[in-house]
Amino acid sequence: MSKQPVAVVGVGQTKHVAARQDVSIAGLVREAAVRALADAALDWADIDAVVIGKAPDFFEGVMMPELYLAEALGAVGKPMLRVHTAGSVGGSTALVAANLVAARVHGTVLTVAFEKQSESNAMWGLSLPIPFQQPLTAGAGGFFAPHVRAYMRRTGAPDTVGSLVAFKDRRNALKNPYAHLHEHDLTLERVQSSPMLWDPIRYSETCPSSDGACALVLTGERGAARAPRPPAWVHGGAMRSEPTIFAGKDYVSPQAGRDCAADVYRQAGVTDPRRQLDAVEMYVPFSWYEPMWLENLGFADQGEGWKLVEAGVTEMDGDLPVNPSGGVLSSNPIGASGMIRFAEAALQVRGLAGEHQIDGARRALGHAYGGGAQFFSMWLVGSDRPDR
């Protein structure tokens, strides 16, 4: 039996904030799930399986939270499974769910990703000593800052490029009611003079720590035909992994990321991503990762990504808008962040992105990465049902 095309018929997210003290983790994930079901005009009974994802348990200090979330997500009597691939988990969770539908294992799948970072300390969780290394890694920023410096050195990009990305994403976030940061008074000068946390990364070039959840309802052709609002069709999806450390690893442009993108474009029949895609939601937790991923994902030649940023190509009104939602730089419930990228790409091609809608978007990429730039997950969604 052949694969069936997969449609996104429901998208739900919470308003991402620093601390959701009014709800438990169960309440948080249910809120996103209820919104996704409402978008799809479906009820719990219509769901055949639940796929949940989150980043390391240390981020809340709750071991295996999926065990107690089954009832909150309507999974009693149904298959429920959890995915984990560090920061890329939101993306890989959606892909596992999509594959279950494509393979006709389940008809309609609810997939949910979350993080409630206010309940523990993610930076601590990311800084645990490793016995065979000097304990020097101060959170994700400390890990990625040297690789940002390597990118700057390799390409000769001006120091200001990171601030341009940060300012763009924070301004885009003002158009997204679900974004955590709504910094109305931010100026480019303030970004550039914000404190240096992990030199060369400044405070305003860094993602926040958020509480939030995202949910998607995925279904096949029959489900899409019944959906009250336009679906987003999955044209391609892929995951790739590589070791955290190996001789010759390119931290600036990892091979796994390049291979993952190439696989997705091949599935979707995309040969010139820069021209054939209308919007990109990429995982940019530190602003310099936008030019780095522009190169890794094939939107720019090696060493040229920063030039697209400087030329305004990735602005909301540029010809390759990147992170119209405000991106990870404006909302980062880590485990959910990848799924939010996938969800925002789907909203764009459904024409339902509201104030941050890119006019006429028909094809969009959702991208996530995690671990030591070693796990990648991406999907390419379109307004049209794929041919194959």
- The answer to whether 214 and 340 have CB atoms below 8 angstroms apart is yes
Which of residues 38, 79, 104, 124 is near another protein by CB under 8 A?
124
**Min separation Cβ 319 and another protein, Å:** 32
Distance CA(378)–CA(302), nearest Å, equals: 20
Which of residues 159, 199, 317, 359 is near another protein by CB under 8 A?
199
- Whose Cβ is closer to another protein: residue 4's or residue 121's? 121
Q: Does 127 engage in binding with another protein (CB under 8 A)?
A: yes
**Min separation Cβ 175 and another protein, Å:** 21
Q: Does 311 engage in binding with another protein (CB under 8 A)?
A: no
Q: Between residue 32 and residue 91, which ones bind another protein under the rule CB under 8 A?
A: 61
- Whose Cβ is closer to another protein: residue 252's or residue 292's? 252
Segment near another protein (CB under 8 A), from 64-72, 156-164, 196-204, 328-336? 196-204
> Which among 11, 19, 306, 314 has a CA at the least distance from the CA of 172?
314
- The answer to whether 201 and 162 have CB atoms below 8 angstroms apart is yes
Segment near another protein (CB under 8 A), from 77-85, 177-185, 245-253, 313-321? 245-253
Which of residues 1, 21, 45, 360 is near another protein by CB under 8 A?
21
Binding mask 155-194 for another protein (x = CB under 8 A): ----------------------------------------
**Min separation Cβ 322 and another protein, Å:** 24
- Whose Cβ is closer to another protein: residue 103's or residue 130's? 130
Segment near another protein (CB under 8 A), from 117-125, 170-178, 212-220, 333-341? 117-125
How many residues form the binding site for another protein (CB under 8 A)? 42
Q: Does 4 engage in binding with another protein (CB under 8 A)?
A: no
Distance CA(327)–CA(359), nearest Å, equals: 18
**Min separation Cβ 148 and another protein, Å:** 8
Give CA angle at 187 (162, 339), nearest 5°: 55
Which of residues 139, 220, 273, 305 is near another protein by CB under 8 A?
139
Which of residues 70, 123, 262, 316 is near another protein by CB under 8 A?
123
Which of residues 77, 156, 228, 248 is near another protein by CB under 8 A?
248
Distance CA(365)–CA(235), nearest Å, equals: 10
Residue appearing with tokens 């609810």: 110
**Min separation Cβ 191 and another protein, Å:** 17
**Min separation Cβ 359 and another protein, Å:** 31
- Whose Cβ is closer to another protein: residue 208's or residue 223's? 208
Burial zone of 108 (CB within 10 Å; 0-12 exposed, 13-18 middle, 19+ buried): buried
Give CA angle at 60 (366, 378), nearest 5°: 10
Contacts of 339 (CB under 8 A, 6+ apart): 53, 90, 91, 93, 94, 111, 112, 113, 214, 215, 216, 368
Burial zone of 119 (CB within 10 Å; 0-12 exposed, 13-18 middle, 19+ buried): middle
Q: Between residue 330 and residue 369, which ones bind another protein under the rule CB under 8 A?
A: none
Segment near another protein (CB under 8 A), from 15-23, 162-170, 289-297, 345-353? 15-23
Contacts of 341 (CB under 8 A, 6+ apart): 90, 91, 281, 282, 283, 327, 328, 366, 367, 368
Distance CA(386)–CA(6), nearest Å, equals: 9
Structure letter (DSSP) for residue 374: T
Distance CA(256)–CA(238), nearest Å, equals: 11
Structure letter (DSSP) for residue 256: H
Q: Which residues bind another protein (CB under 8 A)?
A: 15, 21-22, 61, 121, 123-124, 127-129, 131-139, 142, 145-150, 153, 195-201, 243, 245-249, 251-252
